[in-house]
Chain A
């Protein structure tokens, strides 16, 4: 049992830290694709897709800017107007952590606080072409450090469960969005082109799974298997199934630790988890990858709202 406000801060601290790391991953891949784009004919499309994957297209369009490498990178990395820019994610994660400072271990707090302090040193010129790759590496490394500090030092009580819940739900959402941003390369008429192949590689790289693919399938890249890996393989830490099985388990433990009080979050989470455990990539492809993923993203959102409603708003 813990204060709803504390749970809220821990949960969002986890979500924002994970989001910052995922944004950095997405941008690294977009940069690489842009480097190949000349030969593959992708062009600026890559940047628009990244905006969609980051859920930042709406806010960006409101600025009236044209989506080019420069404008999208600036918007996603540092723009103060974008609530989900990397800089704002780091800011929000630290703000949440600071509000519940005593609920964190020293290692977690230092990881969080140093990230925030170093960001201020990095920020001004971080998006210049020659500095951006190093900046994105740094963001990724800081997220890994925070997750490692939490996993290695936190007492496994309610506090841990809410941090974990935030990280896992954010990660599931990110994987679904990344897949959706590339659904044209994974299904439909574009799926056999040379550019599609590069897109699959890029998608796998963004979740550190290019080599994992080879270890799991021992096959040449195939759209169907790429989607299968990212949705249904339990051994890939960023697959939808892996994330949702951890969300479901965390929610069960939360219920067990709060006198069995349960509700919509558990019901919805189990439903999503069951759906993934019993699903198959063939069925998803038949139903249409884009429609299926849209459904997943909507349900992630609803699950987040249900968690917010039952536990965090108090």
Chain B
């Protein structure tokens, strides 16, 4: 962890992309920055962009801390990332089409059959069905970390219901308002067209039996969901309805929403509800969030579900080590974006290595999310390491481990000072008939000194991401 790469202050002084920011900080100082942060927080409260955290006491509607110093990527850096992201998402979608279809990659022995077929995220109900436009993951959030000037790694793929894009958009609005001159001088690549790109993507995935212009709706679990604001925000920006399960009915394999003008056919459902809760007739029988019969309507070609049920097979942490192989197998290309080396605890030799090196590895649940159930070796106590060793021994298949990367840092307003803090980057990759990416993404930042955990549920904050 000695040679952490700071994206602003390089060994030879301030890196060029950050010159304007460094000048602003030098000229205006901490007080001005603190005031900007207060203003931004007032703005976010007013708009209502809050994140719900339950079961921890305190304010249930929290603001994700916003850091008014942007994270900047040069255009050339971004262009390379965008090519890599496009390649990766194409490969992930090809993988899903394959494992729910012919299974060639399994037959070729590139990915172990059992890893896929016995995986909880694999939905046998999807076997033999080709979704509209052949797309499974219409919206993918690919989490990237950086360790050097030209070193980016994919930390994980999110192909189920990746969230956070509303922060990407609102952070930009806040920066445009707080720093109009600075934004103008930097010639930022815009992001505000994301909702339009999303709507175009969803329409391109319209089902075969959709006659007129496709009607799109966002399916939300409801206002208790932590991302409810985002569901409403995206619906409003796209001009589509945000619906809950009981707003929809299925008759003769066609999905309708209940409206004051009677039932209205729905063609594309951007669902922000997990697979298990989608349809009580197929998945969890006691789900109150889902729509009985929606899966049959999907298979009958009358409605599109985005992302497709079973898309989780592509972002499973135990499948992740094979993604570079997928790129080679399906596209015949070398991967542009690298994976973090990953040890699978279910393999005996790799497990032995992990247990012997717990103090320097990050151990994760193969199917966890949100930074829960994670051991960060270098920051752990002996007791925590013992606990994890026991857990790994009991259920090795549930755990993977990765070396602790020296994540890059970006200057951050932390308390009363500007100090380097670790960041990651989640670009949102849209795939319909084409792949679309708005430049940048959501930068998440660990606010505690030395911390590598950027998740908002674990006290992380966000920054605007500039591509200049």
Residues of A within 8 A of B (CB): 31-32, 34-39, 129-130, 133-134, 197-198, 201, 211, 213-218, 220-221
A32 to B188 Cα, complex, angstroms: 12
Chain B residue contacts of A130, Cβ below 8 A: 35-36, 39, 178
> B186–A218 contact, CB under 8 A?
no
Chain B residue contacts of A39, Cβ below 8 A: 186-190
A213 to B237 Cα, complex, angstroms: 9
> B238–A214 contact, CB under 8 A?
yes
Chain B residue contacts of A31, Cβ below 8 A: 177, 180
> A35–B176 contact, CB under 8 A?
yes
* Chain A residue with the shortest CB-CB distance to B200: A220
The smallest beta-carbon distance between B212 and chain A, in angstroms, is 11
Given contacts A38-B185, A211-B239, A216-B239, contact A198 B190 (CB under 8 A): yes
> A34–B180 contact, CB under 8 A?
yes
A35 to B195 Cα, complex, angstroms: 20
A215 to B238 Cα, complex, angstroms: 7
A36 to B180 Cα, complex, angstroms: 8
Interface flag for B193 (CB, 8 Å): yes
Chain A residue contacts of B352, Cβ below 8 A: none
> B186–A38 contact, CB under 8 A?
yes
> B181–A129 contact, CB under 8 A?
yes
Chain B residue contacts of A213, Cβ below 8 A: 239
Would you list the 9 A-B pairs with minimal beta carbon distance, nearest first? Answer: A214-B239, A38-B187, A39-B187, A215-B239, A35-B180, A38-B184, A35-B183, A35-B176, A133-B177
A34 to B392 Cα, complex, angstroms: 56
> B193–A214 contact, CB under 8 A?
no
Chain A residue contacts of B79, Cβ below 8 A: none
Given contacts A36-B188, A220-B196, contact A129 B239 (CB under 8 A): no
A-B contacts, 18 listed (Cβ < 8 Å): A31-B177, A34-B180, A35-B181, A35-B183, A35-B184, A36-B176, A38-B183, A39-B186, A39-B190, A129-B180, A130-B36, A201-B192, A211-B237, A211-B239, A214-B195, A214-B236, A214-B238, A221-B196
Chain B residue contacts of A216, Cβ below 8 A: 239
A221 to B237 Cα, complex, angstroms: 12
Interface flag for B213 (CB, 8 Å): yes
A214 to B192 Cα, complex, angstroms: 14
Chain B residue contacts of A198, Cβ below 8 A: 190
Chain B residue contacts of A220, Cβ below 8 A: 196, 199-200
Chain B residue contacts of A201, Cβ below 8 A: 192
The smallest beta-carbon distance between A100 and chain B, in angstroms, is 35
> A38–B213 contact, CB under 8 A?
no
18 further A-B contacts with Cβ under 8 Å, apart from A214-B199, A215-B239, are: A31-B177, A34-B180, A34-B184, A35-B177, A35-B179, A35-B180, A36-B176, A36-B188, A36-B190, A38-B187, A39-B189, A129-B181, A133-B177, A201-B192, A218-B199, A218-B239, A220-B196, A220-B199
The smallest beta-carbon distance between B115 and chain A, in angstroms, is 41
Given contacts A34-B180, A211-B237, contact A218 B213 (CB under 8 A): yes
A211 to B200 Cα, complex, angstroms: 16
> A197–B180 contact, CB under 8 A?
no
> B193–A197 contact, CB under 8 A?
yes
A150 to B240 Cα, complex, angstroms: 33
The smallest beta-carbon distance between B264 and chain A, in angstroms, is 13
The smallest beta-carbon distance between A206 and chain B, in angstroms, is 15
> A38–B188 contact, CB under 8 A?
yes
Chain B residue contacts of A214, Cβ below 8 A: 195, 199, 236-240
Interface centre among A31, A35, A39, A213 (most CB of B within 10 A): A35
Chain B residue contacts of A211, Cβ below 8 A: 236-237, 239
A198 to B190 Cα, complex, angstroms: 9
Chain B residue contacts of A36, Cβ below 8 A: 176, 183-184, 188, 190
Chain B positions 234 through 249: 1 when the CB is less than 8 Å from some CB of chain A, otherwise 0: 0011111000000000
Given contacts A201-B192, A220-B196, A220-B200, contact A37 B184 (CB under 8 A): yes
The smallest beta-carbon distance between B187 and chain A, in angstroms, is 4
